[in-house]
Amino acid sequence: MISVAGKPILDWILQWLVGNRIARIVVGVAYKKDVVTEYVSRLNLPARIEFSEHTVEGGTGEGFRLAIERFVQDDTFLAMNGDEITDINISRFANFHLRLGSLATIAVANLRSPFGVVKINDYKIVEFKEKAVLESWVSTGIYAFNHGIVEYLPARGNIEDETFPKLARLGKLGAYRHSGFWGTLNTLKDLHELERELTQSGLST
């Protein structure tokens, strides 16, 4: 519910989903669940929205597992955390996942360093780049899952710690490279940076 460029980040996410023609959405709720459900219900979005309650202590594993077991019958579906804004084309992402044939596919993006990146040679800086885009890929927190993912979701704990490492070892985890807009929200600095990037990208208009 943290406000980003004038509206809650959840609002950004829901509008993105609806804009990609998603007709059914399950929102996992735990902390301040009454505030979340009341706000979402007032949006009158053209989608069927249901709420799946879980505990904060149960982590993302419990949150995803309960939502899937309660509400999801589809073989393939989108899943995501609630702290990112992106312009990923969901149809392209889903088609890539289906062609790849993996149990789960993570949308990944290049990490932009929040710090100045330096190249050193013999104790001297020979190159300096402010907030450089790094070659490494990071998870955007947006996933395509097959229903069989339920077998790998912990009763309690985080999928990032337990599920994804296991799937990677088994060769069942794919990566969809996203080069467009993506921003996440973890700190106050992230909030200011995300608002600036939204304004520059034109997504906030």
Q: What is the pLDDT of residues 123-148, one digit of tens each?
A: 777 777 766 666 778 899 999 999 99
The CATH number for 19's domain is 3.90.550.10
Three-class SS string for the chain? CCEECCEEHHHHHHHHHHHCCCCEEEEEEECEHHHHHHHHHHCCCCCEEEEEECCCCCHHHHHHHHHHHHHCCCCEEEEECCCEEECCCHHHHHHHHHHHCCCEEEEEEEEECCCEEEEEECCEEEEEEECCEEEEEEEEEEEEEEHHHHHHCCCCCCCCCCHHHHHHHHCCEEEEECCCCEEECCCHHHHHHHHHHHHHHCCCC
Give me the pLDDT at residue 11, please: 87
Specify the higher pLDDT residue, 38 or 99. Answer: 99
- The 10s digit of each residue's pLDDT in 143-200 is 999 999 999 999 899 999 999 999 999 999 999 999 888 877 666 566 667 667 766 6
> Quick one: pLDDT band at residue 62, thresholds 50, 70, 90?
very high
Mean pLDDT of 26-45: 86
What pLDDT, on a 0 to 100 scale, did the predictor assign at position 132?
62
| Total structural domains within the chain | 1
Print the domain residue range for 155.
3-201
Q: Is the predicted pLDDT of residue 77 greater than 90, yes or no?
A: yes
pLDDT at 1: 61
Greater confidence, 6 or 73? 73
CA-to-CA separations, 62 to 99, 111, 118, in angstroms, rounded: 28, 28, 41
pLDDT of residue 205: 52
Residue 84: pLDDT band (50, 70, 90) is confident
pLDDT, averaged across the chain: 86
Whether pLDDT at 32 is above 90: no
pLDDT at 24: 94
For 96-113, how does the pLDDT look when each residue is reduced to its tens digit (9 = 90+)?
999 999 999 999 998 776
State residue 97's pLDDT score: 97
